[in-house]
Amino acid sequence: MATTSQAYLEGISVKETKALISDLCRQFYHLGWVSGTGGSITIKVHDDSIPKSQQLIVMSPSGVQKERMTEEDMYVLSSDGSVLSEPLAKPWPHKPPKCSDCGPLFLKAYEMRNAGAVIHSHGMESCLVTMINPSSKEFRITHMEMIKGIQGHGYYDELVVPIIENTAHERELTESLAEAIKAYPKTTAVLVRNHGIYIWGDSWISAKTQAECYHYLFDAAIKLHQLGLDWSTPSHGPIHSPNGVQGSHRNAEVSAKEGLNDGIESSRRYIVLDVEGVTTPISFVTDVLFPYARNSVGKHLELTYDTAETQNDIKLLCAQIVLVRSSTGMRKERSLLRIEDEVPLKMMEMSGASMGGGSERVDNVSSPCARVYCRSVSS
């Protein structure tokens, strides 16, 4: 039976594919991938008697509530993109039917990758991960379990996803998508900056599985970045700036290579991370941040002690600890930092230290390689 015949177009294979797209779009809506009528999906009508390159294509419409679509809302296209069947118009407030604006891009994935299904997601993760470094042309990540869900990749592999620039109209992305597919023969996805992602597989199951893994990895990368950790390296250790300072709380010199690996510095200069007690309980500071600082300060100083920034921090810390005498003659400590426990600052060569210019000296200091401690002082 010819695939263009009315009997074939109304046959069980086409109907099942239409129903499958409706069902998947409802799931994708609740994942945030196709909200606001955005995003789309297309699946080829599987038929063992027909080569995949010649199989019919079922495509969702454009500008509709994706979670409310039915079989009757779908378009059926030939393998070359010609419309063979289209939905009937619905009464107001529905818009006139229109095939997906993603159509030309879907066809490129079918043509260049012999795909069986293509998903276009507007998931927040896929948008934000392209904005961490506005100059990067790739997203890179490695040593994450979910990489194994991406076709042709294993845990130890580096996953590389090309990023193309967004345009005002979807169809204008067609050529840049095709160039990215050609330039990255191993990729099964292309990110669109500030927009979303296109993902394909040899079947709808493959495309869906990979889409879930990609979104998981993007979300993981964003969270690692917020923690100051580098998702693009095997150890996922602290992000290092060119001057050797660790973490995401450093100032303007944020290396674009951190996470996206293209060596161009970010244009951002300041980031407000949190006001204490707003996004996390205040106890987070004492229960998590203080122990982390206590355990990490030694290593941090060993790595960065000779940098100008760390030297300035040490001078600031010493300047902030001021001993004054109250009107009753009792000495009290006024400090911008509350240092309640002995915190090792640095193994340094020195014979002694005096804080605040008073008669009080910091104990536990010897030479050489003495460990200096800041202590709460009361007497």
pLDDT in tens, 244-296: 545 543 433 333 344 444 443 445 556 666 665 566 677 777 888 888 888 88
Q: What 3-state DSSP class applies to 327? A: coil
Domain assignment present for residue 253? The answer is no
**Dihedral sign from CA coordinates of 12, 14, 20, 23:** negative
Question: What's 344's DSSP letter?
Answer: E
pTM above 0.85, yes or no: no
- The answer to whether the annotation marks 102 as part of a ligand binding site is yes
What does the alpha-carbon distance between residue 216 and residue 306 come to, in Å, rounded to a whole number?
39
Shared domain check, 45 and 144: yes
Q: What is the CATH number of the domain that holds 100?
A: 3.40.225.10
Shared domain check, 194 and 83: yes
Going by pLDDT thresholds of 50, 70 and 90, the confidence category of residue 205 is very high
Shared domain check, 75 and 207: yes
Measured CA distances, 95 to 65, 102, 106, 280 (Å): 11, 18, 23, 44
Shared domain check, 219 and 87: yes
Closest CA to 144 of 135, 134, 153, 152: 153
Give the count of alpha carbons within 13 A of 172, CB side only. Answer: 5
Shared domain check, 205 and 317: no
- The answer to whether the annotation marks 213 as part of a ligand binding site is no
| Phi, psi dihedral angles at 101 (to 5 degrees) | -65, -20
Q: Which residue has the higher pLDDT, 202 or 377?
A: 202
Domain assignment present for residue 273? The answer is no
CB 190 within 8 A of CB 175: no
Average pLDDT over residues 342-363: 41
Q: Residue 195's domain spans which residues?
A: 6-226
Identify the pLDDT of residue 324: 39
Going by pLDDT thresholds of 50, 70 and 90, the confidence category of residue 365 is very low
Domain assignment present for residue 69? The answer is yes
Q: Which residue has the higher pLDDT, 199 or 257?
A: 199
Shared domain check, 160 and 13: yes
Domain edge (last residue) among 195, 226, 257 = 226
Closest CA to 107 of 22, 200, 26, 14: 200
Q: Which of 10, 72, 145, 342 is catalytic?
A: 145
Domain assignment present for residue 55? The answer is yes
Domain edge (last residue) among 226, 252, 279 = 226
Shared domain check, 160 and 304: no
What does the alpha-carbon distance between residue 238 and residue 56 come to, in Å, rounded to a whole number?
49
Domain assignment present for residue 143? The answer is yes
Identify the pLDDT of residue 270: 62
Identify the pLDDT of residue 240: 73
| Phi, psi dihedral angles at 76 (to 5 degrees) | -120, 125
Average pLDDT over residues 49-77: 95
What does the alpha-carbon distance between residue 117 and residue 106 come to, in Å, rounded to a whole number?
9
- The answer to whether the annotation marks 369 as part of a ligand binding site is no
- Going through 186-233 in order, the beta strands assigned E by DSSP cover 189-192, 196-201
Measured CA distances, 379 to 184, 325, 328, 329, 331 (Å): 69, 11, 12, 10, 6
Going by pLDDT thresholds of 50, 70 and 90, the confidence category of residue 26 is very high
What does the alpha-carbon distance between residue 349 and residue 163 come to, in Å, rounded to a whole number?
50
What does the alpha-carbon distance between residue 313 and residue 247 come to, in Å, rounded to a whole number?
15
Domain assignment present for residue 365? The answer is yes
Domain assignment present for residue 280? The answer is no
Residues 6+ apart with CB under 8 A from 247: 228, 238, 239
Q: What 3-state DSSP class applies to 158? A: strand
Least confident of 97-101, 240-244, 366-370, 371-375: 366-370
Shared domain check, 111 and 17: yes
CB 201 within 8 A of CB 117: yes
What does the alpha-carbon distance between residue 181 and residue 169 come to, in Å, rounded to a whole number?
19
Chain segment 31-48, per-residue pLDDT in tens: 999 999 999 999 999 999
Q: Residue 71 pLDDT > 80, yes or no?
A: yes
Q: How many residues are given for the chain?
A: 379
Share of the chain above pLDDT 90, in %: 60
Question: Number of folded domains in the chain?
Answer: 2
Average pLDDT over residues 199-207: 98
- The answer to whether the annotation marks 25 as part of a ligand binding site is no
Shared domain check, 292 and 222: no
Shared domain check, 308 and 203: no
Shared domain check, 216 and 126: yes
Going by pLDDT thresholds of 50, 70 and 90, the confidence category of residue 126 is very high
Other beta carbons within 10 Å of 269: 9
Domain assignment present for residue 233? The answer is no
Residues 6+ apart with CB under 8 A from 268: 252, 254
With 0-12 CB in 10 A as exposed, 13-18 as middle and 19+ as buried, what is 45?
Answer: buried
- Going through 144-251 in order, the beta strands assigned E by DSSP cover 158-164, 189-192, 196-201
Chain segment 129-154, per-residue pLDDT in tens: 999 999 999 999 999 999 999 999 99
Residue 158 among the catalytic residues:
no
Provide the mean pLDDT of the chain.
Answer: 81
Shared domain check, 152 and 17: yes
* Highest-confidence segment of 144-158, 336-350, 352-366: 144-158
